[in-house]
Amino acid sequence: MILPDHTCPYGVRSKEMLDSEGIEFEDNILESREQTDAFKEEHGVSTTPQLFVDGERIGGSTEVEQWIKSRTEVAPE
């Protein structure tokens, strides 16, 4: 969420984690409280950001970190 007087630190953290792993993503910036509230209601969540992979919700920045770790912990065959 980016407003004139606020940038979401969890969104910034999530983007940095994805960037550092070279994971491409589409960033859908919520620019108003109304957009944020509508997003939360639509997806049944209480916080933003939320990461979706192939239409499946992974979660917020904590879950993004766990998801990234789970991808890197998979041993190559």
Which of the pair, 74 or 6, is modelled with greater confidence? Answer: 6
CA distance 34 to 45: 15
Alpha-carbon distance values, 63 to 20, 28, 31 (Å): 16, 18, 23
pLDDT tens per residue, range 29-74:
888 889 999 999 999 999 999 999 888 899 999 999 999 999 877 6
Structure-token pair, residue 53: 């992979």
Q: In the predicted model, is pLDDT for residue 76 greater than 70? A: no
Average of pLDDT values for 18-28?
Answer: 89
Range in 2-6, 8-12, 24-28, 43-47 the model is least confident about: 2-6
CA distance 8 to 29: 10
Domains and CATH numbers, the chain: 2-59 (3.40.30)
Tell me what pLDDT residue 69 has.
92
